[in-house]
Amino acid sequence: MKIRLEPHRCVGAGQCVWVAPQVFDQNEQDGTVRLLIEAPPAELHDFVREAARVCPARVIQIEEETDS
């Protein structure tokens, strides 16, 4: 899994931080999302997916790795 953000679209709701604080944080100045781990370990994948699902601005993009 690899995560990409569109922070310019972020509304600062903080849902991602609530769901996956190991992966996401908020900028202290404007509250927009900050990525802590671009490629999180497998044990955090479900939390990242949930964070993307609950994001009101849909700024979290997940690229799933496929087994070849």
Distance of CA 38 to the CA centre of its chain: 9
pLDDT score recorded for residue 67: 63
Share of the chain above pLDDT 90, in %: 94
Name the strand (E) or helix (H) holding 33.
strand 33-35
CB 3 within 8 A of CB 35: yes
pLDDT score recorded for residue 1: 95
Q: Is the pLDDT of residue 45 over 60?
A: yes
Name the strand (E) or helix (H) holding 25.
strand 24-26
2-63 CATH = 3.30.70.20
Q: Is the pLDDT of residue 5 over 90?
A: yes
Q: Is the pLDDT of residue 15 over 80?
A: yes
Per the structure block, which two tokens stand in for 9? 């679209």
Q: Domain-by-domain residue ranges, the chain?
A: 2-63
- Residue appearing with tokens 């609950």: 54
* Stated pTM of the model: 0.90
